[in-house]
Chains A and B, each alone.
Chain A
Amino acid sequence: MRIRNLFAVVMMAGIYSLLSAGLFTIMDAVDVAFTEAAVGAGISTVLFLGALALVGHHERKPGHTPLLPLIVVLVTGGALVYGTMDMPPYGDPGNPVHHHVADHYLEESPHEIGIPNIVTAVLASYRGYDTMGETTVVFTAAVAVMLLLARRPRRPEEEEDEA
């Protein structure tokens, strides 16, 4: 956080993303790790670099002291740590999250869907509505970026109409 050069910040963020992809693999989420490696370490870094090329890569020294944000963050973190005391332990098969619909997906999807990758089965079939919504969100984001960036930057000397 003390690095002033934003290029270094973005490259560190890319490395962090790749490491978190490794962590997802350890926690058995191979599909998620795959996506994180492709999206977080690949496309996201390229987008950040593209934005940096447009806005400049040097950060000015912040004027105010970071004391208040630090207190806020520590209080939030402390409250959350207190909250975890009631959470189920890590890796326990008896956790409530595993006994609502996950059992159904794991046991019935071979007969109902017939494809081995359960993540794909749930994504495209059981939760098809969700995925359609997500696809629409991604499309909407592209439209928003187009609205923001597709027009020529307004300069007094570039008043001729757009191609």
Chain B
Amino acid sequence: MREQVIVRVGAKVLVPFIILFGLYVHFHGDYSPGGGFQAGVILAAAFVLYGLVYGLDAVQRVLPPAFVQACAALGVMVFAGVGVLTMFLGGNFLGYGVLAHDPEHGQHYGIIGVEAGVVITVFGVMVSIFYLFAGRGRRSG
């Protein structure tokens, strides 16, 4: 696919918008359909598209495999970290009411926090699974 001009240019134009849309889906997930899982998948799709069109090496220069694997673990840690943080602040595990003076604002912060964890994990997992499948083909074939 590397010699198709339309595909190459189209992919290059689309990738920033896909990433922007993914971030929008995450941060606007409170008000419209969307949330962590979708945003993570959309962010991963941007890099998968880039990798499909420009080859695995190009995308791994931008996003090394070690980095996405670290992302996958980091996201779970962020999620659990928010839970532990609320516990240290005197609330229940994952009870976000204590994160701010107004419990409703605390809920906002907590939800954005755990959703960020979900985004990071899903993004890391999807991209690293894609790397593994694509990299396997290159090595054995």
**Residues in B lying within 8 Å of A, measured CB to CB:** 25, 29-38, 41-42, 44-45, 48, 52, 69, 72-73, 75-76, 79-80, 83, 94, 96, 103-105, 107-108, 110-111, 114-115, 117-118, 121-122, 124-126, 128-130, 132-134, 136-137, 139-141
Contacts and interface: CB of A to CB of B under 8 A. Distances in A.
Contacts of A145: 128-129, 132
Contact of B52 (A33, A46, A129): A46
A113 B41 CA distance: 25
A144 to B, nearest CB: 10
5 contacts: A43-B126, A117-B34, A120-B34, A124-B36, A153-B140
Contacts of A76: none
A46 B130 contact: yes
Contacts of A149: 132-133, 136
Contacts of B111: 113, 115, 120-121, 124-125
A2 B83 CA distance: 50
A31 interface: yes
Contacts of B29: 117, 120
B96 A125 contact: yes
Interface string A30-66: 1101110011001100110011011000000000000
Contacts of A43: 41, 44-45, 48, 126, 130
B62 to A, nearest CB: 18
Contacts of B33: 30-31, 33-34, 117, 119
B94 A119 contact: no
Given A146-B69, A153-B140, A132 B94 contact: yes
A107 B72 CA distance: 35
A107 to B, nearest CB: 16
A123 interface: yes
For the complex of A and B, the 10 pairs showing the least CB-CB separation, nearest first, are: A50-B133, A128-B94, A115-B30, A142-B125, A114-B104, A30-B33, A124-B111, A149-B132, A38-B41, A113-B107
B94 A135 contact: no
Nearest to B28: A117
Contact of B35 (A54, A119, A128, A142): A119
Contact of A31 (B38, B115, B124, B136): B38
B140 to A, nearest CB: 5
